Structure 1
Amino acid sequence: MIAGMESSTHFFTASPPWVMALAAAAIAAYLVPALGARRLADGPTRLAMRAAWVLHLLTVAAGLMTSPARFGFAPALSMTAWLMLTVYAIEQQLYPKLRAVGVLSVLGALAVLLAQIFPGKPMAVHASAWLPLHLALGIASYGLSAAAVVHAGLMSRAERRMRSASNDESGMPLLMLERLTFRFVAAGFVLLSATLLAGLLFGESLYGRAWVWDHKTIFSLLAWMAFALLLVGRSRFGWRGRHAVHLIYAGAALLLLAYAGSRFVLEVVMLGHGS
């Protein structure tokens, strides 16, 4: 029992005070639009989101630059949320009436908080120089898949509002949302393919072991198959609407289970049983 308790502290080591201060500031900035998105004007809302975006980036960078650098399921989710917010910030410049700030700011705050509670385990000192690139590809595929999920949700909402003849608060035509959704799916699929291929060809140099059929690999391949099926169905059979959205959700859920889910089990569930 004592050994289990000692191992659990390996994952729950508190961040340095200055990192926690950055995280608290990021969470506070996210809560401004999260709690007052409908009451605040566009100017203060965008200012708060920009401040939260910068503080979130600094928090992510601080977690990687502290000694030893730590990584796990929660930092991966935090990076995913930041990438998703980056995509939203760029899109809002092109489509000012796009409205998803309330949900995204809540997700951003939760992601930052979760990364402080579960900072992960120290990364290997003698890891391959290519490992950061491999992790970056995986996180980027996470972020683009998350963006696809957000747009799929907006697309479903726009479709429901169109059927009920009510105004669409997203401010974007349904066909435009659909086009953007599938672009994110395609881009995420390309990056996921590159991540899997790198793991297959260079797994031994990256992680010190060859390709292993573990939970992460199986869920990643299932996610790849779901997105591949969706893209083929879209190209060959014109899949769209509810069936396409459900496949996007399924692929994203499988991808979430691949790394974040498996790491959560190892970092939290298994250690909890060990204590």
Structure 2
Amino acid sequence: MPEALLYLLTVATYLGLSAYFRPGGPACCGPTGWGRLLLFVPLALHLYLLDEVILPGAGLSLGFGTSFSAVAALTVLFYGLAAWHYPLAGMQSFVLMFGAFGVLLQAVMPGGRVLPDAGMPLFKVHMLAAFAAYGLFAVAALHAALIAIAEKHLHRPVPTRMVAGLPPLLTLEKLLFRMVELGFLILTLTLLSGIFFSESIYGRAFPLTHMTVFGIASWAIYAALLSGRRIYGWRGRTAIFWTLAGFVTLLLSYVGVKFVLEVLLGRA
């Protein structure tokens, strides 16, 4: 199958399923087992396209488009796995649209320079952990947005179908903090492992690059959120704000830097 047709098929499948599971639609908030399996169809195509671009031979090539696409694919993957055990059905349409957008960016901007130390297995594990943190925090950010919508409609006499079948807000918030805790652990390991590769990539053991600054800032935001939850019992809008702020900062740490360098400045 031609590559362009495969990209088109992947995007069309993502968007078709997104429309099928749209908020307020008949399949929105109660997908059955086969309904949960459907999102893995475009995801399998998505991962195949990523493998073709990111791993050309023994190297590791990551540009802005492929980086964002990898984050989107892992977001779909984490959501697909979590939806089997937790009440996340209201997010399905948005997650699928996010996946489609990632594939589109990869199709438009597939290139990227080969990273130093790309052949080292530990470096690939480091990069996989970094994108895993991105994907998990992306799901947490979407979940926080869902909680915000649920709170907005809490006192309305007839809630929208998107939130009508959701569990209590306290249950949703507990799930949110479980995701943040796991993401924080992965992010911590990513930052620590990154120190081992900084010297060979940048010539210094701990360079203060934009990537490093935003990465540490996002770690500090999530650390503050978890500490505030434990000490002060933060919840509701406070938890939502800190979750979204941490994700935006984390997004800027790598994908945002790649966007500025490749798209705005025209540098690889």
Q: Normalising to structure 1: TM-score of the pair?
A: 0.83
The whole-number CA distance in structure 2 between the counterparts of 1:260 and 1:170 is 35
Contact 1:224-1:251 at 8 Å conserved across structures: yes
Matched, 1:154 2:149: no
State the shift of 1:136 in Å. Answer: 0.8
Distance 2:265 2:16 in 1: 36
1:140 aligns with one of 99, 112, 132: 132
Whether the 8 Å CA contact 1:80–1:140 is kept in 2: the answer is yes
- Aligned-partner Cα distance in 2 for 1:18–1:255: 35
Q: Deviations over 1:201-249 (max 9, x none)?
A: 4422466543210111111111111111000000011001101110111
Matched, 1:55 2:45: yes
Residue 131, structure 1, aligned to residue 119, structure 2: no
Task: Decide which of 67, 74, 99 is 1:108's aligned counterpart.
Answer: 99
Amino acid at match of 1:251: G
Assess if the C-alpha contact under 8 Å between 2:198 and 2:204 holds in 1.
yes
**Which residue of structure 2 aligns with residue 86 of structure 1?**
77
Give a deviation string over 1:106-141, Cα, whole Å, max 9, x none: 111111010111123131475351221111111011
* C-alpha contact (below 8 Å) 1:120/1:267 kept by paired residues: no
Choose which of 214, 217, 225 in structure 1 pairs with 2:220.
225
Deviations 1:135-169 (A, max 9, x none): 11110110111111011111112222223243424
Matches within 5 A, 1:100-249: 100-124=91-115, 127=118, 129=120, 130-167=122-159, 168-169=163-164, 171-205=166-200, 209-249=204-244
Distance 2:192 2:88 in 1: 39
Q: Which runs of 5+ in 1 are unaligned?
A: 1-16
- What is residue 245 of structure 2 aligned with on the other side? 250
Determine which of 9, 13, 18 is the counterpart of 1:29: 13
Query: Alpha carbons of 1:124 and 1:102: their partners in 2 closer, same or farther (altered >3 Å)?
Result: closer
Cα distance in 2 for residues equivalent to 1:261 and 1:71: 13
Over the residues paired in the alignment, what is the CA RMSD in angstroms? 2.6
Instruction: Considering Cα pairs closer than 8 Å and 6+ residues apart, tell me whether 1 or 2 has the greater RCO.
Output: 1
CA contact (8 A) 1:87 1:147 kept: yes
Measured after TM superposition, the shift of residue 78 of structure 1 is 1.4
Preserved CA contact (<8 Å) 1:30 1:48: no
CA contact (8 A) 2:63 2:112 kept: yes
Aligned residues: 257
